[in-house]
């Protein structure tokens, strides 16, 4: 019952957006934070919410040029400063488990490692053409595995390009001319011309990969009981956006969302 109450309180704290900074906590307490953080969603990443926007703040250098964060802006009226409520968190229990993640205006990630050593994670970002790229992955004793939302492509057999076909035609034309001059015209596809130096592939014996994680051995500087930590906080992200480029990206995203 006590663990349930602690977990509920942690979840309420995380959901409220309150900043957290805990160090030198017990593995058990750290694990409560790690488990609560995962409710933010491996594979269910949200981008940072937009909190507002404003014209670029007036600032000029000694030459009278309009500057924004050290960058000269020739046409400040074409830009806007957007603000986003970004977030990140990270925690470890001191026994090998961890969880971390972040979200920004156009990307995000969550990852965790459990008590067995298995790592699970996901990340997402907005591509230039407006579609979200989403990947989910895990790594365990069998190796690294990943799935994403890219469309599957049909693999077609290799075909000869026009340049290759033309080169073949010229080659066999020259072959015929030289053979006629020599009074002998062998078949270029005959076995005697095909076997020498020909690569014969062999099927390798399949050996499944099994990773053996070595046991953790504390270093000489690590003394005392294991301790964990956890932090989570929100922070403002100001973003310089070109109005025309922003409108085009929003148009592409609207098209993609309609198609999905």
Taking the alpha carbons at both ends of the chain, their separation in whole angstroms is 43
d(CA 127, CA 221) in angstroms, rounded, equals 45
Q: What is the C-alpha to C-alpha distance for residues 99 and 230, in angstroms, rounded to an integer?
A: 9
What is the reported pTM? 0.69
pLDDT computed for residue 192 by the predictor: 57
Indicate whether 3 pLDDT > 80: no
**Mean pLDDT over all residues of the chain?**
84
Looking at the predicted structure, is the pLDDT value of residue 44 above 50? Answer: yes
Q: Which helix (H) or strand (E) holds 84?
A: strand 79-92
As a 3-state breakdown, the chain gives helix, strand, coil percent values, each rounded to 5, of 30, 30, 40
Helices (H) and strands (E) in the chain, counts: 5, 11
Question: Tell me, what's the pLDDT at 194?
Answer: 54
Integer Cα distance of 111 and 15 in angstroms: 18
Closest CA to 210 of 115, 146, 139, 120: 139
Q: Out of 32-36, 107-111, 197-201, pick the least confident.
A: 197-201
């Amino acid at each position: 019952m006590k663990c349930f109450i602690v977990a509920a309180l942690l979840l309420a704290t995380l959901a409220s957006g309150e900043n957290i900074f805990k160090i030198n906590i017990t593995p058990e307490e750290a694990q409560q934070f790690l488990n609560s953080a995962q409710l933010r969603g491996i594979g269910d990443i949200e981008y940072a919410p937009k909190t507002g926007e404003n014209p670029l703040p007036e600032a000029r250098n000694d030459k009278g040029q309009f500057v924004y964060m050290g960058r000269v802006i020739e046409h400040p009226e074409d830009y806007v400063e957007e603000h986003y409520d970004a977030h990140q968190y990270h925690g470890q229990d001191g026994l090998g488990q961890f969880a971390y993640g972040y979200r920004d205006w156009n990307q995000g990630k969550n990852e965790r490692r459990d008590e067995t050593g298995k790592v699970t994670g996901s990340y997402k970002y907005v591509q230039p053409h407006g579609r979200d790229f989403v990947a989910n992955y895990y790594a365990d004793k069998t190796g690294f595995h990943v799935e994403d939302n890219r469309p599957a492509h049909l693999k077609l057999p290799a075909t000869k390009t026009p340049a290759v076909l033309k080169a073949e035609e010229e080659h066999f034309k020259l072959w015929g001319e030289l053979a006629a001059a020599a009074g002998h015209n062998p078949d270029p596809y005959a076995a005697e011309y095909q076997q020498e130096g020909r690569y014969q592939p062999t099927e390798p014996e399949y050996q499944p990969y099994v990773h053996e994680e070595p046991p953790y051995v504390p270093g000489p500087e690590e003394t005392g009981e294991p301790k964990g930590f956890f932090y989570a906080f929100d922070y403002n992200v100001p973003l310089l956006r070109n109005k025309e480029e922003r409108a085009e990206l929003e148009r592409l995203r609207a098209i993609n969302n309609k198609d999905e």
